[in-house]
């Protein structure tokens, strides 16, 4: 048990480091090819932010643990909204003014409903995975298209400005390729280490791979989002703190959930549709109500709402514990 716990802890640390190196390498190559910082921020950096979840999902499915992969996808979304944004709003209330973010809310709901429709037969199949990954391509295309339009109409949009500011500095092609390879290798190795430890703990406690994915794995892969969101909010970069979560959730529902469908089609646990997906959808609606700003152009997630989100997360964790032990 101790070795498995250390494996999970080390896996999380190296996943974060590997993803960071991967971002530096991929961004450096794209920058040297003349790709604009805005597009790099919306695609490569956004993609790499969810790289730990995607790598864990792929290797879990490959190792015959698809339940862990599905749990990681849904659990990460629940953790991102309830824990990450909850704690961030408690630390400092978050103002939301960007039109770009308000356009991403409906997009996220659309993809959530698409995933719900595909999973409604309790089966995540190859075709489902292909549809979700195709939707990911559409999402990236729409985000870039609208961002470029907004850049022309409103060059001082806070989210677009902050996205460009987050791009790693320029480096040589050789160094960029080196970091890309090293980052990818670390992501693969740390994912295997994490999955090994998580499966061992699941077997030791007699709980399902799904529950381990919803709890330990989801929490660990969401820790980088928690750190990034709190730091961004403290720097008054509220747009990028919320943008990170919305972008990560869309990547999770499309890529992290789609990958195991392609690698290993399987019947999903009934609890996914009766417990986990409704909670994820409900939290997404709650976030929309808190942050949209119906009375004006600026929305706000205050400390009380942050406490409410965090309370929901704690209650959800207790629900998983109770159902796993009774």
Buried b / exposed e over 157-166, threshold 16 CB at 10 Å, is bbbbbbbbeb
Spatial CA neighbour of 57 closest among 216, 263, 279: 263
pTM, entire model: 0.84
Q: CA dist 316 to 92, 214, 306, 323, Å? A: 24, 10, 15, 11
Q: CA dist 215 to 33, 98, 123, 193, 228, Å? A: 40, 32, 22, 17, 20
pLDDT digits (tens, 9 = 90+) for 133-147: 999 999 888 877 776
Q: CA dist 1 to 162, 212, 317, Å? A: 43, 14, 21
Structural Rg of the chain based on CA atoms: 19
**Does domain 2-325 sit in CATH 3.40.50.1970?**
no
pLDDT digits (tens, 9 = 90+) for 61-72: 898 888 888 999
**Which residue ranges make up each domain of the chain?**
2-325
Residues 217 and 56: beta-carbon distance below 8 Å: yes
pLDDT digits (tens, 9 = 90+) for 294-322: 655 567 788 999 999 999 999 999 999 88
Q: CA dist 122 to 130, 269, 273, 323, Å? A: 17, 7, 8, 20
Per-residue pLDDT at 6? 86
pLDDT digits (tens, 9 = 90+) for 210-245: 898 888 888 887 777 777 777 777 777 666 677 778
Residues 14 and 193: beta-carbon distance below 8 Å: yes
DSSP string, 139-164: HHHHHHHHHHHHHHH-TT-HHHHHHH
Spatial CA neighbour of 44 closest among 155, 179, 172: 179
Beta carbons within 8 Å of 203's beta carbon, 6+ residues apart: none
Spatial CA neighbour of 73 closest among 18, 119, 19: 119
177-184: average pLDDT = 85
Does residue 166 or residue 190 have the better pLDDT? 190
């Amino acid at each position: 048990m101790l070795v498995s716990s250390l494996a999970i802890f080390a896996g999380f640390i190296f996943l974060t480091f590997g993803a960071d190196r991967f971002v530096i390498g991929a961004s450096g190559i794209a920058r040297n090819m003349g790709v604009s910082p805005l597009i790099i921020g919306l695609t490569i950096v956004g993609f790499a932010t969810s790289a730990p979840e995607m790598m864990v999902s792929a290797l879990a499915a490959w190792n015959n643990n698809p339940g862990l992969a599905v749990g990681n996808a849904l659990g990460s979304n629940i953790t991102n909204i309830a824990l990450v944004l909850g704690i961030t709003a408690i630390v400092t209330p978050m103002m939301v003014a960007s039109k770009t973010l308000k356009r991403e809310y409906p997009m996220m709901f659309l993809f959530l409903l698409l995933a719900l429709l595909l999973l409604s037969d309790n089966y995540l199949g190859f075709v489902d995975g292909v549809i979700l990954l195709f939707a990911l391509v559409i999402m990236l295309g729409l985000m870039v298209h609208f961002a470029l339009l907004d850049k022309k109409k409103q060059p001082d949009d806070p989210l677009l400005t902050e996205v460009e500011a987050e791009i790693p500095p320029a480096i040589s092609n050789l160094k960029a390729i080196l970091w890309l390879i090293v980052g990818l290798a670390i992501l693969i190795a740390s994912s295997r280490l994490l999955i090994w430890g998580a499966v061992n703990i699941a077997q030791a406690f007699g709980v399902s791979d799904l529950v381990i994915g919803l709890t330990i794995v989801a929490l660990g892969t969401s820790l980088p989002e928690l750190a990034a969101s709190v730091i961004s909010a403290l720097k008054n970069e509220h747009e990028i703190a919320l943008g990170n979560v919305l972008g990560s959730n869309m990547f999770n529902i499309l890529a992290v959930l789609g990958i195991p469908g392609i690698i290993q089609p399987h019947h999903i646990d009934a609890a996914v549709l009766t417990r986990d997906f409704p909670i994820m959808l409900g939290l997404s609606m709650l976030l929309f109500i808190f942050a949209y700003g119906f009375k004006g152009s600026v929305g706000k997630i205050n400390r009380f709402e942050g406490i409410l989100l965090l309370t929901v997360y704690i209650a959800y964790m207790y629900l998983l514990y109770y159902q796993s032990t009774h």
